[in-house]
Structure 1
Amino acid sequence: MTRSDNTDGFAVLLGAFRRTTVLAPVDPYEETLTRFARAQGEPDREWEYHTVLGARLPDGLLR
């Protein structure tokens, strides 16, 4: 596999991510994300989130 193959593969994956809808926590602050990560073991806990296209994820987190 050449470097060009790796770059092409990454470009394909990045393109797919940019077109995919992803979930992002409503409150993107680091301390909140830490609590979110720790709470993954709590199936009854509800978390607010919004959906964003992967290409818009940085914009969505900066709202």
Structure 2
Amino acid sequence: MELTAEIEAIRDGLGDPARLLGEFRRAVLLVPLAEGPDGGLMSAVSGGIRWIYAFTDEEALARFAQARGEAESAREWDYLSVLGARLADAVVPMADRPAGVVVNVADDDGSMFFPPVAGIVPDANAVDLAGPGEVA
């Protein structure tokens, strides 16, 4: 089953979280590049968490551009193709704060958040695991 189908199954209450995570890790996702001098991957911060935007296909990325009011602009949306596993295991640890991945964020019924918790991101970056002297 592909990632979008697993997301749909989870949202319908019929999915398996482990299968969803496996599909996320195997999926090739489109991650838009941020404009401006700092560049990097496009993301947003909410609740102290940096959410990296990722999309399952160009159509989902186009819906995101449209939701931002940028579909008709002359802006070219450059992006990288990245495995979900690479985002979780290599990109999240490089973030300036706790980070997770949000897939197809502009799709009301098809988006899914992969938060910075144990089992999704490396334990060292999981906000739900307490280190010595820390509170989870």
2:17 corresponding residue in structure 1? 10
Q: Choose which of 75, 83, 108 in structure 2 pairs with 1:53.
A: 83
Q: Distance in 1 between matches of 2:19 and 2:79?
A: 27
Q: Percent identity?
A: 43
State the Cα RMSD in Å: 3.0
| Rounded Cα–Cα distance in structure 1 between residues aligned with 2:43 and 2:20 | 27
Q: Relative to total residues, which structure has the larger helix share, 1 or 2?
A: 1
Relative to the length of structure 2, the TM-score reads 0.30
Q: Which position in structure 1 is the counterpart of 2:26?
A: 19
Give me the whole-angstrom Cα distance separating, in 2, the residues matched to 1:52 and 1:24. Answer: 7
1:57 counterpart letter in structure 2: L
Aligned partners of 2:19, 2:73: CA distance in 1, in Å?
Answer: 34
Instruction: Give the distance between the partners of 1:22 and 1:45, measured in 2 at CA.
Output: 20
Once residues 18 and 72 of structure 2 are traced to their aligned partners in structure 1, the CA distance between those partners, rounded to angstroms, is 36
**Larger RCO, structures 1/2 (Cα 8 Å, 6+ apart):** 1
- C-alpha distance in 1, partners of 2:22/2:85? 9
Unaligned runs of 5+ in 1: 1-5
Deviation string for 1:32-51 (max 9, x for gaps)? x7xx5512x32864201101
What's the TM-score, normalizing by structure 1?
Answer: 0.56
